Amino acid sequence: MMLDTATTRTAPSRTAPIFELIEVEKVFQVRPPGRRFTREKVGLRALDGVRLSVEKGASLALVGESGSGKSTLLRMVAGLDAPSGGRALYHGRPIREVRAEGPGFARDVAMVYQDARGSLDPRMTVGALIAEPLRHFGIVPKAQEETRVGELLERVGLPADAAKRYPSGLSGGQVRRVAIARALASEPSVLVADEAVSGLDVSTQAQLLTLLRKLQQEMGITLVFITHDLGVASYLCEQIAIMYLGRIVETGPTDAVLNAPAHPYAAALRGAAPRFFEPIPEPLPGEIPSPLDLPKGCRFSTRCPMAQDDCRTRDPQLGTLGAGRAVACLHPLAPSDT
């Protein structure tokens, strides 16, 4: 009996996911391609049956090609878009509902945009930009605003006098830091980042990654991170979710998934990453198919080097595979295949 209550008390705090996506779908109504003068709309499935749960303190990397639905998923997690089907939950309640209730969700879930420069008002100084969330959420009294801005700037490795400058006068790396400082200003428990470090030079990237990792480990921030770079994913995130055409094809602990990918697409991504002193292996043939015209059966079957007959007729669902891993493949690779 004692044991029972103990487990029920600790269980929700440890395993209750912050975010839970259940069979989430997102369909955009678009004009059919190539036909400009029509009012007819067709549904574009940007997300199709995504199941994902993010636990408190977790760090999750979303990896996949352009057009695989990573950003759509992130926008949904941030509450910017509503799912067209399925349920997107935050602490067990629909995200849009929680967001509509007040600034609590907005304070708790901060986002770093892919286009960091575009996400900063060009007519505000860096100081004013960082002070805006401080003031909006009432984080510190007005008198301490300036010192807090200084602290935040210092935390992301910018000099305090950067507060007086405008984003137009900062370099790409500095602008990302400002965006991160701004996201951290509201003292969020979840940081959602869309390619926060891509396109930066290597040393800046390393600094930002160290910073994010420190934040994640020291402050227990939950991190959902989109990236193209598997190296970044393995450094920063314990969990990885590999997306293909609006669906998660493989998830699990980053190291396990990257060392022994079970889905042929994950294996292909792993293989396509350049390594020192080695030729780049044969890239994946072809382009990602249009989400307007999904292949029959497994959606990866058109490009899969190991596709078999039943792959073209049956659509595999995400099924568990060993410890904490799941894969959506009819013929998952055995660890020895890679």
Partner 1 sequence: MSAEATNAPAPATLPPAGPAPQAQSRKRRSIFVRRPFFTVALVIAAAYLLAAAFAPHVAPYDPVLQSMDAMMQPPSGAHPLGTDSYGQDILSRVIFGARYALVIGIFSVLIGAAGGLVIGLAAGLSGGWVEWALMRLIDSILALPSLILAVAFIAILGQGVDKVVIAVGLSMVGPFSRTVRADVMQVKVQGFVEAAHLMSIPSLQVIRRHILPNVIFPLAVQVTIRISEAILVSSSLSFLGIGVTPPTPDWGLMIAEGRDFVSFAPWMSAMPGFALALLLIALSIVGDGIREEYDPKSRRGA
Render 97-115 in DSSP notation, one character per residue.
Answer: HHHHH-HHHHHHEEEE-SS
Name the residue nearer to partner 1 (CB basis): 161 or 282. Answer: 161
Contact 246, 290 (CB under 8 A): no
Q: Look at residue 12 and give its three-state secondary structure.
A: helix
Which residue matches tokens 């293989």? 271
Name the residue nearer to partner 1 (CB basis): 119 or 302. Answer: 119
Name the residue nearer to partner 1 (CB basis): 45 or 176. Answer: 176
Render 203-242 in DSSP notation, one character per residue.
Answer: HHHHHHHHHHHHHHHHH--EEEEEES-HHHHHHH-SEEEE
With CB under 8 A as the contact rule, the residue among 85, 92, 122, 172 that binds partner 1 is: 122
Question: Least distance from C-beta 123 to partner 1, angstroms?
Answer: 5
Q: Does 145 bind partner 1 (CB under 8 A)?
A: no
With CB under 8 A as the contact rule, the residue among 119, 222, 239, 302 that binds partner 1 is: 119
CA angle 129, 131, 133 (to 5 degrees): 90
With CB under 8 A as the contact rule, the residue among 115, 154, 310, 337 that binds partner 1 is: 115
Question: Least distance from C-beta 39 to partner 1, angstroms?
Answer: 16
Name the residue nearer to partner 1 (CB basis): 193 or 304. Answer: 193
Name the residue nearer to partner 1 (CB basis): 111 or 245. Answer: 111
Q: Which of residues 176-205 bind partner 1 (CB under 8 A)?
A: 186
Name the residue nearer to partner 1 (CB basis): 35 or 123. Answer: 123
Cross-strand bridge partners of residue 239: 60, 253
Q: Does 90 bind partner 1 (CB under 8 A)?
A: no
Question: Least distance from C-beta 304 to partner 1, angstroms?
Answer: 36
Cross-strand bridge partners of residue 206: none
With CB under 8 A as the contact rule, the residue among 34, 102, 141, 274 that binds partner 1 is: 102
Question: Least distance from C-beta 166 to partner 1, angstroms?
Answer: 9
Q: Rounded to whole angstroms, how far apart are CA atoms 137 and 106?
A: 9
Near partner 1 by CB under 8 A, which window of 37-45, 98-106, 139-147, 226-234? 98-106
With CB under 8 A as the contact rule, the residue among 79, 291, 297, 316 that binds partner 1 is: 79
Q: Does 133 bind partner 1 (CB under 8 A)?
A: yes
With CB under 8 A as the contact rule, the residue among 37, 123, 143, 274 that binds partner 1 is: 123
Q: Does 69 bind partner 1 (CB under 8 A)?
A: no
Q: Does 264 bind partner 1 (CB under 8 A)?
A: no
Which residues of this chain interact with partner 1, rule CB under 8 A? 78-80, 99, 102-103, 105-107, 111, 113, 115, 118-123, 132-133, 136, 168, 186
